[in-house]
Structure 1
């Protein structure tokens, strides 16, 4: 996604819409005046894409309202760049993880209520693209562990004009389909989390091929037929049948990653505290078989991907995955974030070097 560019005041008017079927949600209790008061500094900001999938925001909002201990103002903030997201993050301090934290809490609430629709909305929201500073720029991955394994398995879509976006976004959609199937939802609905056609990376306006209509309850990406599906129905069926996206996509699932890119006004390549230690300490894990073979160590080695038994046999620290492709992709991304953290702290190399290392890591995973 691109920089924020539509009045947040107008955006909040659109936040009161009810989600249409099949993603209907209980009447939401979001307080516009309260949000405006807590977000006064954002009153003139522009937010060009985060309302494109409005029906999922509405569904997540309803689930989040059931219990919101972190005081997250609204799901829309999880889709903004970090500078804007800070105004609605509540007590969440790792802004790279506000998106995941919002989805995670909403999923927890919906699961406790036995609400499959609410869980579906939460998973789809977790996969939506976040705003970044320019066309073609990737958003930073959250490296914190989610409470729910279903949410942990999902990454956000990346700007379709970014390097490797087609493979990355396809892998995300196929993994999302597996998770939807697991909760009793329609796996084909994973396609609805998709984003727009790629924009022109040389367009300095950052507009891209986007929409952002506040009062479109369905979501303008749907009503204006702007959604680009990342996979076919047959590919989704194959992924679900195999029990994991990697089984259906092969090396493509690990070919590219949704990782940190060069810092901008609203996005930062710095990883959360402790990422470097995680990447280093985990590299020598003794339990099980480490299937991460990449040996690059700029900023520290990639965390080990341990293969064991069970339904989710691949793990990084305590985070588990159904298939090796997704796990290796995450391992390379964690290393990249740790590398950027070292560079931004005055260490050797550059963010470009970190990104080149990540590409080599993904290439090793798909070899």
Structure 2
């Protein structure tokens, strides 16, 4: 998002004049904070239920730091105002049992903030930790013309879809946080492809057809089910299918080999004149070998489900950076108050994420955090990605799924 520099004295004057809409920044050169007005209005409803920090309006959280400070209330860091607004709105909606309110609080957290020029990324919030792990798991969209924005914004949308799905909302609403098409770097107006209309309650980005969705419906649903996207889910299933086929081949080959060995043994025994005794021996040997092979085939199938005999070994020796415990816990009483058994990160300090019914939501987040927060070695990241894909494709559930993922990482 883009914004021209606003003098705080001008903002103060606008806010202080009686009868003036204090949220209408018409004199700003390139405003667009009202583009997602539909989201702002929903969040305002939840925020107004209990607003201990006296945040003036959700709109301030979408402005640059200088302008945001005017409506931040007691939030000391204006770069954290968007997160703080979403966090309080989510808390209020959760207390009211309002899934729609929680959903739009999540969406608001993922909206793009205004910045001063086309291609300039907004500053992340680092000074405040969100109370709700669902909010802490998200970040704001970035200017679509900024470096790496396409991939980053898609990942943010996938994370958003996962969080919405985890609270029982519609994951396809994650596209409500999608932003505009990239503008031209160096645009002297700093406007880019934006709109701003504080009278369009549907959001002018929607009304004017300017929103560029990050996800297809299939990708949003896949993210909510624990996949990183339809493409990755398909790749994981393909790997699992290949492993399963190999396990079947191992089982078939083992049977053929045993049959041949038994035949040779029987023939040798017949030549020695002990056909009867050795036939029994052959039968016993074949039975024992068959049992061993069946066990081996089962082991192969188990390894196929986890997909990582090698990955586990690599992970055990790899460094996870500043995060020492990337494991997943399956709990009957999750720490976020969910009233049903669910998965969550064991270390919620380094992996702050709300619990989820699908393990893939948590495993994907942990692997992302190993890169973005923990600065883990590449071997550890690769092992996590393999374990993540494997557990999604395995069909395992509950404690077995958590054990599979943890063991693949060497725990």
Q: What TM-score does the superposition give when structure 2 sets the normalisation length?
A: 0.59
Match of 1:192 in 2: 176
Deviation at 1:306, TM superposition (A): 3.3
What's the offset of the Cα at 1:171? 0.7
Q: Return the index of the structure with the highest Cα Rg.
A: 2
Partner of 2:372: 330
Counterpart Cα distance in 2 of 1:55 and 1:230 = 18
Q: 1:305 to 1:208 in 2, by over 3 A?
A: farther
Matches within 5 A, 1:215-294: 215-241=199-225, 243=226, 245=228
Q: Which residue of 2 aligns with 1:130?
A: 113
Distance 1:227 1:82, change over 3 A: same
Displacement of 1:203: 1.1
Residue 137 of structure 1, CA deviation? 1.0
In structure 2, what is the equivalent of residue 3 of structure 1? 3
Tell me the distance in 2 between the aligned counterparts of 1:118 and 1:364: 37
After TM superposition, give the deviation of residue 234 of structure 1 in Å. 1.4
CA 1:69/1:205 → structure 2, altered by over 3 Å: closer, same or farther?
A: same
Judging by fraction of residues, say which structure has more helix. Answer: 2
1:268-292: CA deviations, max 9, x gaps? Answer: xxxxxxxxxxxxxxxxxxxx98976
Who is 1:153 aligned against?
137
Give the 3 Å change call, closer, same or farther, for CA 81–166 of structure 1 in structure 2: same
CA deviations 1:44-99 (Å, max 9, x no partner) are: 44561110010110011111111100000000000000000000000000111110
For the residues of structure 2 that align with 1:238 and 1:213, how far apart are their CA atoms? 34
* 1:29-68 alignment, distance < 5 Å: 44-46=27-29, 48-68=31-51
- Secondary structure of residue in 2 paired with 1:312: strand
Q: CA deviation digits over 1:275-330, x for unaligned, max 9?
A: xxxxxxxxxxxxx9897657xxxxxxxx4363122223375735424223431343
Distance 2:17 2:370 in 1: 42
C-alpha distance in 2, partners of 1:220/1:292? Answer: 47
Residue pairs, 1:82-231, within 5 angstroms: 82-143=65-126, 144-231=128-215
Residue in 1 that maps onto 2:56: 73
Write the distance in 2 (CA, Å) between the matches of 1:78 and 1:65. Answer: 15
Contact 1:328 1:362 in 2 (8 A): no
Unmatched segments (≥5 aa) in structure 1:
12-30, 251-287, 295-302, 336-359
Flag structure 2 segments of 5+ consecutive residues without an equivalent: 234-314, 330-342, 354-361, 386-411
Q: Tell me, in whole angstroms, the C-alpha distance in 2 between the residues paired with 1:211 and 1:149.
A: 32
Which among 333, 336, 344 is matched to residue 312 of structure 1? 344
- Tell me which of the two structures has the higher relative contact order, counting C-alpha pairs closer than 8 angstroms and 6 or more residues apart: 1
* Displacement of 1:239: 1.6
Report the aligned-residue RMSD.
Answer: 3.6
Asked if the contact 2:220–2:229 (Cα under 8 Å) also holds between the matched residues in 1, the reply is: no
Q: CA 1:304–1:289 in 2, change beyond 3 Å: closer, same or farther?
A: farther
- Report the counterpart of residue 359 of structure 2 in structure 1: none
